[in-house]
Amino acid sequence: MRPVRIGLLGCGVVGQGFVRLLAEERFRHVRIERVLVRDRAKTRPGVDPALLTTDAIEVIDDCDVVVELIGGIHSAGAYVRRALRSGHDVVTANKALLAGSGRELFALARDNGARIGFEASVCGGIPLIRAIERGLAGDSIESIIGIVNGTCNYILTRMEENGLDFASALRLAQQNGFAEADATLDVSGADALQKLQILAELSFGPTTHARIRVHGIDDVDREEIEQARSRRCVIRHVASARRLPGGVELRVERRELPESHPLAAVRDENNAVIIRGRAVGEMFFLGKGAGSLPTAAAVLSDVLEIAGQPKPVALHANLT
């Protein structure tokens, strides 16, 4: 059987992790055909330089599955749309693109007989999307609450345990690779909202008219942390979604949680989500929410599922 040809768009931290995992596990039925990069001269350990190109069209047209890891909305969106219109399956970790254009992209995929895998778009290596789409398909989800941004959680943990102020904790997160040089998207709460919108659409259906409240952690200070500790509580950045009469409420905000709360024990870059279903009650998911290999593992799981399924089977197609 001919190997499934992968066109990789982007070879940054997650992209290199994806290449590494694919090589280590030696999946013979999956092969990277071309890799889109900005600079072919840049050294990328473990990546064959002969695969590199700066021509996105070449990557998209000469493959079976497009793996989009460049991020952003405009270029990534154009590439994903071209791939879907050509009938190519797509795997992406791009939460911003899915939160803003998910319904359009899934409709485009459906119209052209393509599939979209997006397990890596929310909570890194935690198999949360599959749990909602498959494991809880027979239940009605009532609420979701969790820590879905590893950068914010790392900062709050370091402020709590090391006595750092916000600026120092942010610098430490950047030094350790848990925050971008410009961490605005994370610390403002925008990143968590994008992830929450994806989870809410999967769980509740369209959230066009949802009530939304977003508050970041960029104004947190030592006094707030210490006051919470004096009450045997901790500060966590919490995302929540719940059904309301006539709609859905989405909230991203700092909360003071008692030490006994399940989310209070979630430290550093870890993510955790509690899903409440009408039949199953509460289910708790915990794991690495950031980092090269956890996210790359989620990307690879989608690629392998697509590679092992005949075309008619839908994959991650409920975000419509």
What does the domain layout of the chain look like in residue ranges?
4-124+293-307, 132-289
The model's pLDDT over 253-302, given as tens digits with 9 standing for 90+, comes to: 999 999 999 999 999 999 999 999 999 999 999 998 877 899 999 999 99
Residue 7, beta-bridge partner list: 34, 66
pLDDT digits (tens, 9 = 90+) for 193-245: 999 999 999 999 887 678 999 999 999 999 999 999 999 999 999 999 998 88
CA atoms within 13 A on the CB side of 312: 0
Average model confidence (pLDDT) across the chain: 93
Kindly list the distances between the CA atom of residue 8 and the CA atoms of 43, 48, 69, in Å, as whole numbers in the listed order: 17, 13, 7
Strand locations in the chain (E): 4-9, 30-36, 52-53, 65-68, 89-92, 116-117, 141-147, 211-214, 233-244, 247-258, 270-277, 281-288
* Annotated active-site residue in 42, 195, 288, 311: 195
- Hey, do 4-124+293-307 and 132-289 end up sharing a CATH topology, with the first three levels equal? no
Is 195 annotated as catalytic? yes
More confident residue, 27 or 167: 167
User: What is the domain class of 4-124+293-307 according to CATH?
Assistant: alpha beta
pLDDT per position as a tens digit, 114-132: 999 999 999 988 999 999 9
Query: What tokens appear for 151 in the block?
Result: 């950068």
Fold of 132-289: Dihydrodipicolinate Reductase; domain 2 (3.30.360)
DSSP string, 63-132: -SEEEE-S-SSHHHHHHHHHHHHTT-EEEE--HHHHHHHHHHHHHHHHHTT--EE-GGGSSTTS-HHHII
